[in-house]
Every structure is written in C-alpha cells, then in structure tokens.
Amino acid sequence: MHINILGPVSISVNGKLHPIRANKVRAFLATLALEAGRAVSNEDLADELWSGHLVGNTRNALQAHATRLRKEILGSAHQRRGVSVLRAVPNGYLLDVSRECVDGNRFLDLSAQGAAELQVRPEHSLELLQQALELWRGPALLDAGDGLRARSAAALFDERRLAAWENLVSACLTVGDDARAIAELRQLVARYPLRERFCELLMLALYRTGRQGEALDLFQRTRRRLDEELGIQPGALLQRRHTEILAQDPALTLPSAVVSSRREHAAARN
C-alpha cells in the first residue's frame, strides 16, 4: 500500500489507485500520512479538520472518519499481520506504515540523495532527481483541505520541488547535457519568471551553446520584470553572471561555474 500526497490525496493498493471522495476523510488521512508511524492526537486532528470551528463531538466525528476510511478505502489492505494499519491509540490515531509508504517521504529522500551526489556523481544525481520529480501528480496535498498542517507541508514540498528542479538542471549542465537543461529551464523560467536561479542557469546554458545574445536578452527581460512586479533589481549573483557573459569569461565553460553558483545561492537562501 502506498499513500499519495504529491497531488490529489489517494491510496494505491497493488498498483490500483483509490481516490478519496469525502473531504474530511482526505484531510484525516493526509494529516496522519504526514506523521506516518507516529500518533496524532484527537485535538491536533480536530484543529486540522475543522480549523477551530466548534463541532458537537469531535471524538465521535473522528471515529466516523476512521471507520469510513477503513471500510471504503483501505478495505482488506488495512489488515497487516492481523493488526490494523489505521489504529486508534489513547487520545488519537496512528497510521502504522513505514515512512517510505508515503510518496512525499520518498520524494524528500530521493531529492536529498540527488543533491548530495551532484558534485560527486552527477550522472547518478540526475537519475535520483528524475525519480524524485516523477512522483509528483500535481500540487502537493492538492485537496487535503485548508488546515495549517496541510498548507504548511504543501509549501515545504513545493519549495523542495523547486530545489530538486534546480539540482536536476545543474546536473544536466555538469554532465554536459546543455540541450536538456535548456528545454527544462525554458519551462521553469516561464512558470517561475521571478526565480532568479532558473534565469541564471538558463543564461549559462544558452551561453554555452553559442547563444550569448539570447542569454543577455533573458537577463534584460528578467531585470524589467523584477522592477515592474517587485520594484527590485536583480540580485548580486544574477548580475555577476550577466557580467561574466558580457566578458565571455572562460570559466563559464567549466563545471565549477554551476557548482560555485549553486553553493552561493544556497548560502543566500539560508
């Protein structure tokens, strides 16, 4: 059994996808999946599902959602060695599965491994990051409700997804696959035009393939957009890349051009 939260919340059993139709049951499962293997109190579950609104009897309401989840969704899969996967514990519930059963955790593990391998084995890094990103089927926790836990987790997953994309195109550039990097980055720049790291990497990839003019035009478009939408100028790292391309700096063709800027962007974010 696998629990999917990188997109609509669902359960996969023996390769078959089981969507969850009831809103509160989806939120109930998502909250437990975010803490797979750990108990979540009734109070915390109630806060997530009803966001502080008064409910007549939260304990009975949660029990009803648990019963429906077992009966309609988990079915025979909720039994494992005679023990229910979804278990009531004192003052709460526990989803008794390994963390790897949740696609969000597999994504975090694969993307972390890919990032660690980037400078050592970029080809392997590329494989790991591709596997991580292929787990996504839409925005994280798309239909898990408006509870604080779900929205906070969704924001974290979305940011980690962008970081994984950055690392993937960095791996492409490191192994010399500039064409793939450009294809990926054109889409990313179109979707996230104010994310300077994507712009910087695309400028580098264009320059490396003999398109200096396109790289410089991209910088000017990004500069105007930052000014018009945010009232700011490009950051120091993006401006430096622009200067290096103008000067046709020989270091731009080296793997260190990707690695050093990656470190500096990470330091700037921290």
pLDDT score at 84 = 73
In this predicted structure, the answer to whether residue 243 has a pLDDT above a threshold of 70 is: yes
Half-sphere exposure of 97 (CA within 13 A, CB side): 23
Q: What is the mean pLDDT of residues 86-111?
A: 95
Among 203, 162, 167, residue whose Cα is nearest residue 182: 203
Rounded percentage of the chain residues whose pLDDT exceeds 90:
79
Q: What is the dihedral of CA 19, 21, 26, 29, to 10 degrees?
A: -60
pLDDT band at 13 (very low <50, low <70, confident <90, very high): confident
At residue 87's C-alpha, the angle toward residues 135 and 33, to 5°, is 20
pLDDT band at 53 (very low <50, low <70, confident <90, very high): confident
Distances (CA, A) of 253 to 106, 245, 256: 34, 11, 8
The CATH architecture of the domain made up of 2-100 is Orthogonal Bundle (1.10)
What is the average pLDDT value for the chain, to the nearest integer? Answer: 91
Instruction: Tell me the per-residue pLDDT of 167-196, one tens digit each, with 9 for 90 and over.
Output: 999 999 999 999 999 999 999 999 999 999
If one compares 83 and 157, the residue with the highest pLDDT of the two is 157
Q: What b/e sequence results for 155-169 when a residue is b if at least 16 CB atoms lie within 10 Å of its CB, and e otherwise?
A: eebeebbbbbbbbbb
3-state secondary structure string across 235-248: CHHHHHHHHHHHCC
Identity of residue 10 = S
Structure tokens belonging to residue 28: 């109930």
Rg (CA), the chain: 23
Give yes or no for a contact between 59 and 45, defined as CB atoms under 8 angstroms apart: no
The residues that bridge with 32 in the sheet, in sequence order, are none
Instruction: Tell me the per-residue pLDDT of 110-128, one tens digit each, with 9 for 90 and over.
Output: 999 999 999 999 999 999 9
pLDDT band at 19 (very low <50, low <70, confident <90, very high): confident
Ordered by start, the domain boundaries in the chain are 2-100, 176-270
**3-state percent helix, strand, coil for the chain, nearest multiple of 5:** 65, 10, 25
pLDDT band at 81 (very low <50, low <70, confident <90, very high): very low
In this predicted structure, the answer to whether residue 98 has a pLDDT above a threshold of 80 is: yes
**Assign residue 249 a region: left if phi > 0, alpha if psi is -120 to 50, beta otherwise?**
beta
Q: Class for domain 176-270, per CATH? A: mainly alpha
